[in-house]
Chains A and B, each alone.
Chain A
Amino acid sequence: MNRILSVVLVILLSACASETTKPTDEAGYQPEDASLSAEDKAGGPTLNPLTDPANILSKRSVYFDFDKYLVKDEYKSMVLSHARYLREHSNASVRLEGSADERGSREYNLALGQRRADSVKRVMTLSGTKENQIESISLGEEKPRAVGHNEASWAENRRADIRYQGE
């Protein structure tokens, strides 16, 4: 029963995760100049693309499978959008924060989180983003977003977050 429940939770969670991070064409990232001019024409307030919920750049979390660190396809367009933003804003920089679930050694989990952050970094640098705009670090199991001791919480904590400087 417990196993069924946790499987259901995982499915729910992953469905939720992919829904919140899957890009749509309408909400896809637009270069800032273009979006600015569009807003100027409309006369509306300037929305920060990094925080605008309709913009894919507001999506910041990449989730990983147990003991895995490969960036899954469903997160690639989101990560690449951030990579493009960094290329177009050479004075912007990000910190990629890897995390791991609570099971096992704290230091080994720190290394696992590091590897997840490094994987996201690699997707970015392979697309041409400069390495000096990116710092990948790990929070290991020390800053869990979900504090439960079950598979649903553990899945939520196997993650890498993209944080812009100043955030």
Chain B
Amino acid sequence: MQICLRRFSCCTFVVFLCLVGTPLHAALNIEIFGGGATQIPIAIVPFADEEKLKQNVSAVVAADLHRSGLFRLVDSSGLVPHDPREIVYPNWQILGADVLVIGSTRMLPNGRVEVRYSLVDVARQELLISDIENVSVKYLRAAAHRIADNIYEKLTGDVGVFSTRIAYVVKQGEKYALQVADADGFNARTAIEYTEPIISLAWSPDGTQIAYVSFENKKPVVHIQTLTTGARKAIAKFKGSNSAPAWSPDGKKLAVVLSIRGGSQIFLINSNGSGLRRFSKSYGIDTEPNFSPDGQSIIFTSDRGGSPQIYRMPVTGGASGVAERLTFDGNYNVSPHYRHDGKSFTFIHRNGTKFNVAVLDLETRQVQLLTDSQFDESPSFAPNGKIILYATEIRGRGILAAVSSDGRTRQRLSTQEGDIREPAWGPLPKLHSKLH
């Protein structure tokens, strides 16, 4: 797969990752637009003997880094070093590569694969990473994502999110499927399928469960489903409507929106469905709660001031807490979602007749609009705060899109058929929990 990316180019680069997917797992098509202002030129040499494997490793690493918008892939022009001792540095300087990734793969007698790889600083002729992955064949993609994460972290100083997963809903005909896929759209699996709508997906902080709203009982009910077992439980099924689940950072409780006391108001409930207590108390609509990463406060949408705006209230204050209004531009600001560090949040801002993704910096109170499309919905940050995933529409079809937090790089993720909507970016995998 040849990928080229010119700086400031307005061309569309289409990466048909689905071509190497297995037929069992539907993949998302990913298109990438634009690129960061300062992209690191990186050469990724095909790893030795990887053509003998079912899964090409270096191509996955290259696609991951390219998708981030922070790297420019440099063609290796037939140079194929696999070991640091084989590198002729002047050649790579001529090609304009600042950094170089090389490696090799080896089938082990026990059926596992050993992947050795190195990241090299070309100018300083310095080894930045030298590591070995030892995995079973079916986890080669996961190993490739970890390698991309390590390279990304070394070169940018930020945590990589290539090993994370995303969840979303695909509507096809009258069927609604809650699907979970790798962050690059591969390995899409259906967690549950209904003939009634599914909305408002929320990952548990440990990534093992997803809370969502289903209409299978002819009204909105909040469920929690465990991904590995498929077991699920209705945790808010009170009289009236039950919706908008949001997990507390410790995973012990959720904020939900209920109409049981009239109107739509925010309540807190333990993740096993016990201990219901009221959180917000207004005569208007209070909905779309989202916990701050420190668990101390909740931001939410309320029309208590006459139009939907975003407010913040301390969790400890309970129903008597004072809500602070955070958005003031325009008359429709909804769907707030915190960044991982709690310093900002993303939300949807109505901009004339358009609904766009925006970010509000809580220190400066500055708002930045990141998109210019027609109908954007459900924005959420990647767990490193560098990318925002959201739902949008193109020619009347629902697709997912992602924009870098500086607004420079965009991606579109679509399925072959059907509408895709309600995305939620999962948490980082547990530290150093390599799949073996």
To the question of whether A and B form a pair in one complex, the answer is: yes
- Which A residues form the contact surface with B (CB < 8 A)? 95, 97, 103-108, 110-112, 114-115, 118, 135-140, 142-143, 149
With the chains together, A152 CA to B243 CA distance in Å? 28
B182 at interface by CB-CB < 8 Å: no
On whether A142 and B199 interact (CB within 8 A), knowing A104-B355, A107-B288, A111-B264, the answer reads: yes
| Chain B, interface residues (CB within 8 Å), range | 20 to 34
Flag if B218 contacts A95 (CB, 8 Å): yes
User: Closest CB of chain B to A167's CB: distance in Å?
Assistant: 10
Binds A, one of B3-11, B155-163, B255-263: B255-263
User: With A95-B219, A112-B285, A136-B240 in contact, is A104–B334 under 8 Å at CB?
Assistant: yes
Contact B287 A108 (CB under 8 A): yes
Residues of B whose CB lies within 8 Å of any CB of A are: 197, 199-200, 215, 218-220, 239-241, 243-244, 257, 259, 262-264, 285, 287-288, 301, 308, 332, 334-335, 348, 350, 355, 375, 377-378, 396, 422
CA distance A104 to B240 in the complex (A): 22
For B243, list chain A residues within 8 Å (CB): 107, 110
In the assembly, what is the distance between CA of A104 and CA of B215, in Å?
19
Task: Report the separation of the CA atoms of residues A101 and B262 in the bound assembly, to the nearest whole angstrom.
Answer: 22
How far does the alpha carbon of A140 sit from the alpha carbon of B241 in the complex, in Å?
10
Chain B's closest residue to A132 (CB) is B239
Chain B residue numbers with a CB within 8 Å of A142 are 197, 199, 215
Supply 17 further A-B pairs (C-beta < 8 A) apart from A108-B287, A135-B239.
Answer: A104-B348, A105-B288, A105-B335, A105-B378, A107-B199, A107-B244, A107-B287, A107-B334, A110-B220, A110-B241, A110-B264, A111-B257, A137-B240, A139-B219, A142-B197, A143-B197, A143-B215
CA distance A67 to B70 in the complex (A): 42
**Which residues of A are found within 8 Å of B348, using beta-carbon distances?**
104-105
Cross-chain pairs A/B with CB under 8 angstroms, 21 sampled:
A97-B219, A105-B334, A105-B348, A107-B301, A110-B243, A110-B244, A111-B257, A111-B287, A114-B241, A114-B264, A115-B263, A115-B285, A135-B219, A135-B239, A136-B240, A136-B259, A137-B220, A137-B241, A137-B259, A139-B219, A149-B396
Q: Is the interface of B mostly helix, strand, loop or mixed?
A: strand
When distances are taken between beta carbons in the complex, the residues of chain B under 8 Å from A143 are 197, 215
Q: For the complex, give the distance between the alpha carbons of A138 and B196 in Å.
A: 14
* Minimal beta-carbon separation of B180 from chain A (angstroms): 20
**Closest CB of chain A to B144's CB: distance in Å?**
35
B378 cross-chain contacts in A, Cβ below 8 A: 105-106
Nearest CB in chain A: distance from B396 CB, A: 7
CB < 8 Å: which of B244, B285, B308, B355 contacts A103? B355
Query: What B residues does A114 contact at CB under 8 A?
Result: 240-241, 259, 263-264, 285
Which chain A positions have C-beta within 8 A of B301? 105, 107-108
**CB-defined contacts of A112 to chain B, threshold 8 Å:** 285
Question: A106, B263: Cβ atoms under 8 Å?
Answer: no
Residues in B neighbouring A104, C-beta threshold 8 A = 332, 334, 348, 350, 355, 377
Give chain A's interface secondary structure class. Answer: mixed
Please name all residues of chain A whose beta carbon is closer than 8 Å to the beta carbon of B350 when the two chains form the complex: 104
Which residue of B215, B257, B334, B335 is within 8 Å of A139 (Cβ)?
B215
- From B200, B257, B263, A118 is in contact (CB under 8 Å) with B263
A137: B residues at CB distance < 8 A: 218-220, 240-241, 259
CB distance from B334 to the nearest CB of A (A): 4
Partner pick for B288 among A108, A118, A135, A136, CB 8 A cutoff? A108
Cα-based distance from A105 to B215 in the complex (angstroms): 17
Contact residue among B219, B220, B239, B334 (Cβ-Cβ distance under 8 Å from A108): B334
Check if B239 sits within 8 Å of A105, measured CB to CB. Answer: no
Query: How close is B13's CB to chain A, nearest CB, in angstroms?
Result: 30
| Complex Cα gap A103–B350 (Å) | 10
Distance between Cα atoms of A138 and B263 in the complex (Å): 11
Task: A115 to B257: give the CA distance in the assembly, Å.
Answer: 13
- Please determine whether A106 and B422 come into contact, CB atoms closer than 8 angstroms: yes
7 closest A-B pairs by beta carbon, nearest first, are A111-B264, A142-B197, A137-B219, A111-B285, A105-B334, A111-B287, A138-B241
